[in-house]
Amino acid sequence: MAPRSETRQHGRVNVMLMAALLFSLGLHMVVLAVLPGMPTDQNKTPVQLSVELQPPPNPLPPLEPPKPPESEKPRQPPKKPLPQPKPKPFPAPLPHAETPPTLVHAPEPQPAPPVSSAAPPSVTPPPTFSAPPLPEPPKPRGPSEQEIENARGNYGNLLSREFAKHKQYPRIAQIRGWQGSVKVELHIDANGGITSINISESSGFEVLDKQALEMVRKTLPLPQSPEALRDRQFTIIVPIAFRLE
């Protein structure tokens, strides 16, 4: 069955191709028959143009020559200056009449006042006495650097003994055998009061450093400073030792 259906399809295709070919040939023939009768540009004859010129109805009036500009007007010759009149001579001055001189009376001289022969008495100024300058009061002599340094050392020993009165060895430091020395730096004002407390050198154990600061606070107010350190600000470092016996 398959070969027959294929044969039918091929026959239909051939019929369609033949019909298309015949249609194309007929269309070409119609075009060839119509083209020879169509008009072309070559068969057209050119159109001739003719132009006639007529005279103008009214002739134009003749043109007047242009007027020269004002700047080109002929210059008039300069006028000659009129002669000036000569000046008339002035009449000579008349001589003045001499006037008689007026007499001026000089004032009479006044007599001079009499001059006394006695000399005026001389006035002697009173004698002045200048008091001798008072001697300056002796300036108070301040302590020398050596005296201040000795006073600072003695005061440091005094504070160390006062701090030792409030010494309490921390329990945990005793159990673990912690020992060390703490250096406490004190800043003291002119009135003998403490302005700040710092640890200048730690013992290596925080519990011992805190105990040293607590000992200083319990000693306040501090004992009176030596005379060489009074009325002045100074800094002093006091060592506090923690030793297990």
pLDDT at 197 over 90: yes
Question: Mean pLDDT throughout 202-229?
Answer: 93
Rg, Å, the chain Cα set: 75
pTM: 0.43
Spatial neighbors of 219 by CB under 8 A, at least 6 apart, are 159, 162, 163, 165, 166
Identify which of 51, 65, 236, 101 has the alpha carbon closest to the alpha carbon of residue 158.
236
Identify which of 183, 193, 200, 202 has the alpha carbon closest to the alpha carbon of residue 234.
193
Identify which of 177, 187, 194, 184 has the alpha carbon closest to the alpha carbon of residue 163.
184
Domains of the chain: 145-242 (3.30.1150.10)
Q: What is the pLDDT of residues 102-155, one digit of tens each?
A: 555 556 666 666 555 555 556 676 667 666 677 776 666 778 889 999 999 999
Please report the pLDDT score of residue 114 as a whole number.
59
216 vs 234: CA distance, rounded Å: 17
